[in-house]
Structures are given as structure tokens and as C-alpha cells.
Structure 1
Amino acid sequence: MRDSDWEIIDELYRNPNVSRAAAALYMTQPTLTKRLQHIERELGVSIAERTPKGLVFTPEGTYLAGRAAEHKEFVEQTKRGLAELEQERQRTVRIGSSYTFNKYSLWGVLGGYTEVGDPEVRFDVVNEQSDTLFRKLLDGEVDIVFVRGDFEGPVRRILVDCNQAYLVSRGPVDIDDLPALDRIDFRTNEQSIELLQAWWRERFGTDMTPGRNVGYIDFTWELVAQGKGYALSFVPENFKNSRDLHLTPLFYRDGSPLVRRTWCLYPNSKSLPSHMSDFVDYVRDHVAIGPDEIHQPRCLQS
């Protein structure tokens, strides 16, 4: 029997309707019927009988459906195993990075690792919003992510950055005047928005209403420089203020800074492939700004 024959039996058992099963298998109904008849002749048994309510599997067919499910799982496990062996051979690390971390920090991290780490390791980099990257990590689509904000889940984490929030404007602005002024928003992740919302509520006692959304942050800086409004943003320490914008740091009422943390997250598994483990060790030893959990300054506590 072919692998496709086991797929036919499995699909018909889970979906006992010839036309729907044929569509799911990307086959025509006559082709599926002929193939099923061929399988029955080859095995010398009747697999299913047609009834007004659809196919009804015989005892032999039910037994074969169980073996078909096992066969399907075996094939999938084999393919996954081969893919993992291929990935180990190629020594590739799939890294997810938030847009701003990619722009200001990631390539310095990767460049530093290439100087002291395994020269055979290659990096595939995916740029996305932090919340999207976190889902990709949980789904196994990437190996390691650098994300802005705090995400809870079955992962291990290394604190790699901590950015102060600023009022960004063309000139000095009194923070108490912000509700009456035009604000320019840009694409960012939900974690950052929630932090700014919490600060706004503490400061002004109301929810922060949406501003004028212009998409990308570089366009935001240009509009701010033109005096079209102000922006609230977590600014990296190596931010190049080429437009000579005015930066006013934001603080909570207790005097602690409004900050956003950046984490390196990776799977919470007992063992990692050696090339991934080496890179994680490098991040922990050369990039981390503190232990995983510190309970003193607001910027570092978990």
C-alpha cells in the first residue's frame, strides 16, 4: 500500500463522506472511490459500506483506520526528526526580533557572537511585533525571540534591555498640558500601549484616547520635528536624535521611571541543541543587564 492509501483510510474514517473526504485530499470523488476499491481488493476485506447517512466502517475497516492513524503519526514523526537533524546539521538559529530591537541592538548582538562563538552557526531573523513573535515562539516557528514587554508563558527569559519612556516634542512641553495637545501614535505592541495607558491613568485619571496614527516610528519623528504634535515613546539609549527633538522623561507619581523591559525568550525545555545553547549562554554572559528577576527598581522587577 502507498502512504496515500493510509491517508485515504484515515480521512474517510474521520470524515465518512466521500465527496468531502475527496475535497480534503485534493482528489476527485471517482478517483477516491476507485482507489478505495483497489485497497479493498489488495487486502481482501471490505473497509466501508455506503448508507444514506454516509460511510459505515466495517470491523476490518475500523481496525485499518486505527493503523492508518498510527501510520500517519509515524510518517509525521519521521519527517520532524529528519527536519531536526537537518537543522542541527546546518546549525541555524531562527531568531525573532521586535522592530526597534532589530534596528538598534540585534546586529550588535549577532556580530559579537560571531567573533567568539561557533563560526558555523547561521541566523535566520524574523522581524515582527513582540506579541506576534511570542506566539511564534510558543508555536515553534522561531527558536529564540527578543521582545519588548513582559510576556507570561512556558519560556525561559534573560533581561537584555530596559528603556525609559519619554515625551518627544519639537520643543519643551509641560506634561500637564498633554490632554489638550495633539498626539502622534505609531505601530507598537500591546505591552507598550498598556504601560503608557497605565501611566496616563495615574497621571490624569482618565484613559488615553487614540492619537493620530501614522504607522511607522520614523515618520512619527518627522511629524514631531515639524511641530505637528507630540509622541510618547520608549526610547533606546543609543537613539540617534538627528532631528534635535526635545525628550522629557516620564515618571510615576512615586518618582520611579516609566520603563519597558526587553527580554530574550527561549523554550522552557530541559535541553537545547548545542548551537542554540551556546548562543543563549553568550546572551546571558555578554548581553544581559541583570539577573532574570530583580525586585528593587521598577525597571527590573518581574
Structure 2
Amino acid sequence: MLALKAEQYMKFIKEVHSEISILKKNERNVINIASSYTYNKNYLPQVLSSYLKNNNNVNFVVVTDESSALFKKVCDKEVDVGFVRGTYNANICQKKICTAKAYLVTKRHFSKEKLLHLRKIEYKCSEKTRITLDNWIENNLNNNTSIINAGYVDVALEYVYNNLGFTCCFLDDNYLNIYNLVLTPLLDEDGEYITRNTWFIYNPAKKLSNCTKNFINYIESNIIGYDESNMNF
């Protein structure tokens, strides 16, 4: 009996500490955001800048990782909201922001025979993205070619420009092709574009602060449904 009461008391204390932590967080107006590397680099600064024009008392903490890991953080209530690349399944709120196409990226036009002998330039990405792109390479090129791991996709594109090989990646419609690289859309077996969605996600089971709820309303009203190539902030 005493052990049971002690366990109940400890649970109560833990809940009290959790509530106090939430109250303190509300006072600081901190929003924890999980964002993929490419979304964080190319779009999130504009999103936050626009939001802060009318909400300048809000603080943000942004964490980046592979989208699969970020999705898990949202599911596990470790962060408040997330911007992830690729579609994952869980009982959380997911709102589609946009869709990007996949491309074979080369320095210049190559015959298929010559493509088979080019190095493949890889980079850090989610397992889902890697499987999608590698499946296309396996079915259309040579997946046993020599490899260079460039670290990140923007660096991989620099490697392509410097004649180190080819890469496959998803590019947004407003990608600035400053090096005039050859972008060949990847098609599936039915001749359809291979695409990847970008999602805004949050877990309704997590107790969210008022400033986080306000931020969610802003995203849903101003960002959701707008193509990235036409975003006006």
C-alpha cells in the first residue's frame, strides 16, 4: 500500500513539474521547431522573419536533422512543430506545403553509355529519399559505380559542377540553377514524375503554448497550400 501511494505521489510530482515547465516556457514564448536542412536553409528564415513582424516577442529554437528523425521528435513531443521532407505515417497533424520533383543532375548532356561510368555523388538525406533515388538509379543506370560522399546536397551540386560525377536529388521549382547544370526529371515506370512532398507537422497530443498555437495558425493561414516558387512574405 505504501509503495503504491509513493508511486502515485511521484507521478503527481512529475506532472506538477511538467506543468511548471510549460508555464515557464509560456512566459518565455519559446517555440521549438524541427526543420529539414534544406527547408531550414532556403525557406524557414523567410517564414520566421515574416511571422516576427507582428510577433516580435517570440523566441525560436530550431533543430535540424534527417526528416525521419525530425518526424519522430514531433511524434515523441520533443519539439512543438516541424517542417519535414517526405511523407511519413503517424496519428499527428500533417499539412502539405508543396511538392518537389526529382532530377538527375549532370554537368552537361551525356549519353546513357557514358552516364554508366560517371561517379555517383551522394549526400546526407533521409532513408526514404535515399531509397527512392537509389531505386531509380538501380533501374536506369549503374548503382555499382564509384561513389563520392559530399556531405550535403548543395555541396553535391558543387561537385557536379566541378565534373566529379552525377547526383540525383529533389529540387524545388524555384531552385536557382546558377551553374546551368543539366536537370533531367526522373520518371517512374508509368512515366510520371517522381516527387516528394514537404509537410508542416505538429502533435495535437502535446500541450502547446499559446504562442505555438498562434504560430500554427499563421502557418496554416499563410504558408499551407502556397507553392514555394510563389511564396511572398
Judge same fold: TM > 0.5, yes or no. yes
Q: What runs of 5+ residues in structure 1 fail to find an aligned partner? A: 1-62, 291-302
Partner residue, 2:130: 193
Give 1:133 shift: 0.7
1:92 to 30, 34, 45: 30
What SS does structure 2 have at the residue aligned with 1:288?
coil
Deviation per CA, 1:250-292: give whole Å up to 9, x if none. Answer: 22243321111110110133974332222112112211127xx
**Residues of 2 paired with 1:187 and 1:173: CA distance?**
25
Q: Match of 1:156, as an amino acid?
A: C
Q: In 2, distance between residues paired with 1:235 and 1:136?
A: 25
Matched, 1:145 2:82: yes
Equivalent pair of 2:77/2:206 in contact (CA under 8 Å): no
- What's 1:68 paired with? 6
1:130 deviation in Å? 0.7
- Establish whether residue 280 from structure 1 lines up as the match of residue 189 from structure 2: no
TM-score (norm 2): 0.86
| Secondary structure of residue in 1 paired with 2:43 | helix
Q: Specify the alignment match of 1:225 in structure 2.
A: 161
Partner SS state of residue 197, structure 2: strand
Is this contact kept in 2: 1:91–1:121, CA < 8 A?
A: yes
Aligned partners of 1:199 and 1:258 also within 8 Å: no
Larger Rg: 1
Gaps of at least 5 residues in structure 2 are 227-233
Q: CA RMSD in A?
A: 2.3
Aligned-residue sequence identity (percent) comes to 30
Instruction: Select the structure with the greater relative contact order (CA < 8 A; seq sep ≥ 6).
Output: 2
Q: Secondary structure at the match of 2:178?
A: coil
Return 104-113 or 232-241, whichever deviates more. Answer: 232-241
Whether the 8 Å CA contact 1:197–1:207 is kept in 2: the answer is: no
The 5 A counterparts of 1:261-276 are 261-269=197-205, 272-276=208-212
Give 1:212's aligned residue: 148
Determine if the alignment matches structure 1 residue 78 to structure 2 residue 16.
yes
Give the number of aligned pairs: 225
1-side partners of 2:77 and 2:206: how far apart? 16
Residue 50 of structure 2 corresponds to which residue in structure 1?
Answer: 112
Verify the 8 A CA contact 1:104 1:236 in the aligned structure 2: no
Aligned CA distance change for structure 1 residues 175 and 279 (closer, same or farther; 3 Å):
farther
